[in-house]
Copies of this chain bind each other. A is one copy, B any other.
Amino acid sequence: MNDGYSGLPNARIRAANGVDYAYRDTGGEGAVPLVLLQHFRGNLDNWDPALIDALATARRVVTFDNAGVGGSTGTTPDTIEQMARDAIAFIAAIGFSQADLLGFSIGSFVAQQITLTRPAIVRRLVLASAAPQGAPGMHGWAPEVIGAIGTPNTSPEAYLDVFFTRSASSRPAGAEALRRMYARTEDRDTATTWATREAQYDAICAWGIPDHALLQRLTAIGVPVFVANGDSDPMILPRYSYLLAGLIPDARVKIYPDSAHGFLFQHHAEFAADVRAFLTGAS
């Protein structure tokens, strides 16, 4: 039975750093594989299967839990730099000498850092709901955002408030995305812990300490980059996508209408088509 991402087994692989990483692998040959880096508090089950399946039509796609997250062993570090090292260790363990990266939210921070720390392994980079280190106004999420998705027990309603807008098209799309994420009933990933939440949020706040000089790091990103966000993202404002596109030498940017932090789930078909076009060099 082939039911796409929802039916993939949870695989495990031990890396040189001693961490056993949980991951899912769509398989497939040909193109350079695409490795996905997940959002704040997310695990393997927090990727919308509709997005992964759309991306996987043309290439091998791998999702994984970084060190200390979900089903992976180890400890969630409190810096983006260490998260990047941990992700590099996973990519080495799975045997990819080069990969395309798609980083979402905090995953976009890690993806930028990987590209700066180990540029040789990154072929092309997709930054979704992203912001650069040091940008003004990014010191932690807005109160209504951390109040919604930073609590010990979050609700579907709180998730929808951040990842989708309140419009008649976005909100139902959010309910559909949640339904797809929860359709898998067996072999679900281990829930992320409060320790992961605390460490990740420390890393997010540190990344957001305003420092204009650090923005210049972006000029060292030498690979082609596709920057994307929803026009109404309350967690990471679209202005940071413009900032990334303005400073990364080879970047293109797209802002998706009537959507928020989860624009890539809401617009999964369009976004996957845009990513495929970008990764094949057609855009």
Contact = CB atoms under 8 A, between A and B. Distances in A.
Contacts of A245: 239, 242, 246
A215 interface: yes
A58 interface: no
Contacts of A239: 245-246, 251
Residue of A215, A240, A244, A249 ringed by the most chain B CB atoms within 10 A? A215
B212 A136 contact: no
Copies of this chain, whole number: 2
A213 B213 contact: yes
A136 B248 CA distance: 10
- Give the size category of A's interface with B: 10 to 19
A121 interface: no
Contacts of A219: 136, 212
A253 to B, nearest CB: 6
A interface: dominant SS: helix
B240 A246 contact: yes
A276 B245 CA distance: 27
Interface string A224-254: 0000000000000001111111110101010
A216 B239 CA distance: 15
Contacts of A246: 239-247
Residue of A219, A242, A244, A251 ringed by the most chain B CB atoms within 10 A? A242
A190 to B, nearest CB: 37
Contacts of A136: 219, 249
Interface string A184-217: 0000000000000000000000000000110110
Nearest to A244: B246
A234 to B, nearest CB: 17
17 contacts: A136-B219, A136-B249, A137-B249, A212-B212, A212-B213, A212-B216, A212-B219, A213-B213, A215-B215, A239-B245, A242-B242, A242-B243, A242-B246, A243-B246, A244-B246, A245-B246, A246-B246
